Structure 1
Amino acid sequence: MSTYQRSAAPVPMLVRAIGNSYALWQAGRARLCIVTYHRILEAHDPLLENEPDVATFREHMKMLADCFKVLSLDQALAALRENRLPPRAVCITFDDGYRSTHDLALPVLREFGLPATVFVTSGYVDSAENMWNDRIADAVRGASGSALDLRGAGAGIVPIDGLEARCAAVQALTSRAKYLPPSERLDLIEALEALAGHGTRPLMLSSEMVRTLHRSNVTIGAHTVSHPILTKLPDAEARAEIEGSKTALEAIIGEPVRYFAYPNGKAELDFDARHTAMVREAGFAAAFSTATGAVAPGQDLYTLPRSRPWDASTFFYMLRLLRWLAS
């Protein structure tokens, strides 16, 4: 159990006072911010610019512990239903099921005594295969030469001459691959890896890591079996992805999996009313999009907003959370 005592420094005290005043102004209709992460890195990686290293992640967690009231999803949603959310309520979540959640994030969460949730893509558990976006980044990182000839995969000639060009290549190829049908996405990645090679270090959680997280104040949620864009699938396949992830994860932890996060998470583009109905029918208690802003009382429990402040500094991250809570 953590013995961390929140800071009595002027800035955290001011933030707590501002957050408390918002709650009074909202007259019993306090809001909830749900923040999300994916991978936590050992050190900064320019090809993964949006993923924080562990030092930055620790700064974020210290800020949340000092300035906000961090709740588990169970605590937060129970309080939301009963309209008794505390001021400055925040939940911490992770997507996809990277082993860095276990290896790097969990020790920090324990340090500050913070609960969290990880939405696991069940098909990658215990797998040596990494997610498609990481395969792209690893291939571009390891490629030689000044350009990649991906004309055979429909992606043209991709410059990789220098760090800036490689960063741009990762972004462009990831954006291109995201909405391709799964078979075409795989063709593109295999063509890229044939030219550039691919990483061999497994990045995803093992079953034992999932169980360790579950025993360590981290809720396990579902994130489909293979992380498809649900709107790109026939309904029967989408239902199998949703239900299959729940079944697989329940077999690992031996308890019900109650929460679901939509892959990519943009309403109407990545999921729609068909999929919220499937999630409800599968027995999930709530589901989460990637819409920005705070959860307000009365919102649909199957399309709850959940995002990450993309601010470069922890200070502006904190200010954005305050803005979400106030808006």
Structure 2
Amino acid sequence: MPRTLEHFIRDTPVLREAALRVRALSRSMAAAPAGLYTLCYHHVAPGEQAGFARQMCFLGRYGTFVTADRAADLVASGTAGQGRHFLVSFDDGYADTHGVALPVLRALSIPAIVFLVSDWVDAPPGGDRAGYMDRAAVADWLAAGLDVGSHSASHRNLGRLAATEVAGELGRSRRDLEAMTGRPVRHFACPWGVAGTDFDPGRDPALARDAGYHSFHTTRRGVARGPEDLLLMPRHVLEPAWGLYQIDALVGGPTRAAR
């Protein structure tokens, strides 16, 4: 199947950059609609710490940062649309989430949640102990007042698993993380998170609910406002190296001149 023009632009860095700069001329976080914006980060490299801090300060001008529990409450009650709220999340539990992002969050008093792959805390992929948060890092994260959620037990693609296997991934991860942290684990982020490819939207959110999770996070862009979003939570995947205009272009709403 031939690639569409949109895919061609997306996959060509120079064209993608130009397209985002043009889009940013007519979109702004100041014009973004009310609701819950969940932000998804992966790596925050040491050289990206200042950029990450700049993004946090920028977003803080346009809304309120909330915890994962508060975010779920706002969505479940249908009151998320009464303001603009930001939930900061990190997937996979990379060491730089603790070593690079955490100091920024502490300094700015911003709540956040890290979605951990429970098996990787003690046995990281490829034996890369330095690349992932260990138990000491998780304890320090919690001591800073931040939250832990599940990113499954082993980071398998849920869409390729039988229902019993998905239930096992969800349940085991929650049990292991609660035993490790001594705290309830209420929120789940699906690995990769694309509906129909990485999970079954008609099956897996319900299995997560049955396993005791209050929310099921995906990677579709969007804004959560009501209870129908709780088990298919949208998230905006961001990179800390992005310029602020990229956030305006991809997360912001249309300005008055563009309407």
In structure 1, what is the equivalent of residue 246 of structure 2?
316
Q: TM-score, normalised by structure 2?
A: 0.79
CA contact 2:78–2:225 (8 Å) conserved in 1: no
User: What is the deviation of 1:215?
Assistant: 2.3
Q: Please, what is the CA RMSD of the aligned residues?
A: 2.6
- What pairs with 1:132-281 in structure 2 (closer than 5 Å)? 202-272=130-200, 273-281=202-210
CA-CA distance at 1:284 after TM superposition: 0.6
Residue 25 of structure 2 is matched in structure 1 by none
Query: Could you say if the C-alpha distance between residues 247 and 270 of structure 1 is closer, same or farther in structure 2, counting changes exceeding 3 Å?
Result: same
Match of 1:36 among 28, 32, 40: 40
Q: Report the more deviating stretch, 82-91 or 281-290.
A: 82-91
Runs of 4+ in 1 over 4 A off after TM superposition: 15-19
Q: 2-side partners of 1:231 and 1:64: how far apart? A: 33
Q: Deviations over 1:104-128 (max 9, x none)?
A: 111000111100011000111033x
Letter of the 1:39 counterpart: H
Q: Does 1:84 align with 2:88?
A: no
Deviations 1:73-126 (A, max 9, x none): 211221223333352211100001112111111100011110001100011103
How far did residue 18 of structure 1 move? Answer: 4.4
After superposition, residues 279-298 of structure 1 pair within 5 angstroms as 279-298=208-227
Kindly provide the CA deviation profile for residues 37-83 of structure 1, in whole angstroms up to 9, marking residues without a partner as x.
0111123xxxxxxxxx2222121112122332111121122122333
Structural mapping, 1:84-103, within 5 Å: 84-85=79-80, 86-103=82-99
Deviation at 1:240, TM superposition (A): 1.3
State the Cα distance separating 1:319 from its structure 2 match: 4.7
Report the alpha carbon displacement of residue 245 of structure 1 after superposing the two structures with TM. 0.7
Alignment partner, residue 195 of structure 1: none
Distance 2:223 2:35 in 1: 6
TM-score by length of 1: 0.63
Q: Write the mapping of 1:100-139 to structure 2, written as runs, cut at 5 A.
A: 100-127=96-123, 129-130=124-125
Contact 1:16 1:88 in 2 (8 A): no
1:243 deviation in Å? 0.8
Q: Displacement, 1:225?
A: 1.1
Distance 1:88 1:271 in 2: 28
Instruction: Provide closer, same or farther for how the CA distance between residues 71 and 94 of structure 1 changes in structure 2, counting only shifts above 3 A.
Output: same
What is the CA–CA distance in structure 1 between the aligned matches of 2:253 and 2:238, rounded to whole Å?
Answer: 11
| Inter-CA distance 283–217: structure 2 relative to 1 (3 Å threshold) | same
Q: Amino acid of the residue matched to residue 54 of structure 2?
A: E
- Give the Cα separation in 1 of the matches to 2:147 and 2:179: 15
Aligned residue in 2 for 1:73: 68
Deviations 1:233-266, CA, capped at 9 Å, x for gaps: 2332222111111011001111110000111101
Measured in 1, the distance between the counterparts of 2:159 and 2:42 equals 22
Asked if the contact 1:63–1:318 (Cα under 8 Å) also holds between the matched residues in 2, the reply is: no
- Give aligned pairs, total: 227
Q: 1:200 to 1:82 in 2, by over 3 A?
A: closer
Q: 1:202, CA displacement in angstroms? A: 2.2
Q: Highest CA radius of gyration, 1 or 2?
A: 1
1:309: Cα distance to partner?
A: 4.2
Q: Secondary structure at the match of 1:125?
A: helix
DSSP 3-state at the match of 2:237: coil
Higher relative contact order (CA 8 A, sep 6+): 2
CA distance in 2, matches of 1:201, 1:74: 30
